[in-house]
Amino acid sequence: MSGKNEESMLIPDTDRNSLAGDCENCFGLCCVALPFAASVDFAMDKQGGTPCTNLQSDFRCGVHTSLRQRGFRGCTVYDCFGAGQKVSQVTFGGRDWRQSPETAKQMYEVLPVMWQLHELLWYLSEALTLQPTRSFHGELRAALEETERLTLLDPDALQKLDVAAHRAEVNALLLRTSERVREEALRQLKGRPGRRKNFGRGADLMGADLKGHDLRGANLRGAYLIAADLRGADLRGADLIGADFRDADLRGADLTEGLFLTQMQINAAKGDAGTKLPKSLTRPPHWSN
Distance CA 156, CA 159 (A): 5
Determine how many CB atoms are found less than 10 A away from the CB of residue 130: 23
Residue pair 18/82 in contact (Cβ under 8 Å)? The answer is yes
∠ CA 26-29-35 to the nearest 5 degrees? 160
> Which tens digits make up the pLDDT trace of 142-200?
999 999 999 999 999 999 999 999 999 999 999 999 999 999 888 887 755 444 566 87
Nearest CA to 122 out of 266, 263, 277 is that of 263
Map residue 257 onto helix, strand or coil: coil
> Which tens digits make up the pLDDT trace of 53-96?
999 999 999 999 999 999 999 999 999 999 999 999 999 999 99
Report the pLDDT averaged over residues 125-147: 96
Instruction: List 55's β-bridge partners, or say none.
Output: 61
Distance CA 56, CA 230 (A): 39
The pTM score is 0.90
Query: Does the domain made of 199-289 have the CATH classification 3.30.70.3270?
Result: no
**How far is CA 215 from each of CA 37, 173, 174, 206, rounded to the nearest angstrom?**
35, 23, 20, 16
pLDDT at 22 over 70: yes
Under the banding of pLDDT at 50, 70 and 90, the label for residue 14 is low
Map residue 78 onto helix, strand or coil: coil
Distance CA 232, CA 271 (A): 10
* Residue scoring higher pLDDT (189 or 8): 189
How many Å is the maximal CA-CA distance in the chain?
65
Determine how many CB atoms are found less than 10 A away from the CB of residue 64: 13
> Which tens digits make up the pLDDT trace of 232-285?
999 999 999 999 999 999 999 999 999 999 999 999 999 999 999 999 999 999
Torsion of Cα atoms, 37 then 283 then 119 then 17, to 10°: 130
Would you list the domain boundaries of the chain? 199-289
Residue pair 260/241 in contact (Cβ under 8 Å)? The answer is yes
Nearest CA to 126 out of 281, 274, 233 is that of 281
Whole-number pLDDT of residue 8: 38
10 CB contacts (<8 Å, ≥6 apart)?
none
Strands (E) located in 14-147: none
To the nearest 10 degrees (0 to 180), the angle between helices 163-189 and 137-151 is: 150
